[in-house]
Amino acid sequence: MWSEHQKGLYLAVSLVGQAQAVLGDLPKEKRQIFSDLVYALEERFAPSCQTELYRVQFKECRQKASDTLPGLGQSVRRLSNLAYPTAPLELRDTLAKEQFIDALVDSEMRLRIKQSRPKGLNDAIRLAVELEAYNTAESKTLNSIGHLRHTTGDERTETPNSSITAISMGQMTTWMKTIENNLQYLTKEIQDLKSQRKFQQREKINNTQSKGERGVPLF
């Protein structure tokens, strides 16, 4: 079991960057006291007056277009620790898990993760990454199938010697011949009707003339 002096000494030698500057601001007699070091670091990097601000940021955290799922998870975890510094670790992990799920922009992904009942934030991040990989693979497969269908359709349209094109050309030829035969038949019928009408008109004229000749008296 470490003493306060041993923990303070280990923490002091582990500080780097701006945290090391905090160590230099402390009196010499407090630089190796663990509780004094923790208090000074909290006042410098996580003052209690900013807790409410961190809670607002935590609740409003949403996935951005540039965010990766692991990166979003780490941001939520950091804000959870800053917003609830005195809460038990298990409670902070549960809050971070729920906020991570709510921060996702994909509603279907949110529903599937909730249905899977993840135990903690790491479990929720793992599920989200797996679902994203599945969705990406499925989208690529659908795009490939759509491209293949489009290409096949173009080949059928552009290939004059294909079986479908040959059937279409054969049907067109048959239709054209049928239309031509019908036209010839109609033309012949029209000509026959015209000839018949001319014959009937001539007969009518001849009959009229014959009746007139019979009715004229002879001297």
Q: What is the mean pLDDT of each run of 10 residues along the chain (219 residues)?
A: 76 76 76 78 68 90 93 94 89 96 95 95 96 89 70 56 57 73 73 74 72 54
pTM for this prediction: 0.49
**Predicted pLDDT of residue 153:** 59
93/81 Cα distance (integer angstroms): 9
The pLDDT of residue 218: 47
Rounded-to-integer distance, Cα 64 and Cα 204, Å = 98
Domain boundaries, the chain: 4-45, 51-137
pLDDT at res. 63: 94
Asked whether the beta carbons of 73 and 124 are under 8 A apart, the reply is: yes
Question: May I ask the CATH architecture of the domain 51-137?
Answer: Orthogonal Bundle (1.10)
**Pairwise CA distance, residues 170 & 65, whole Å:** 56
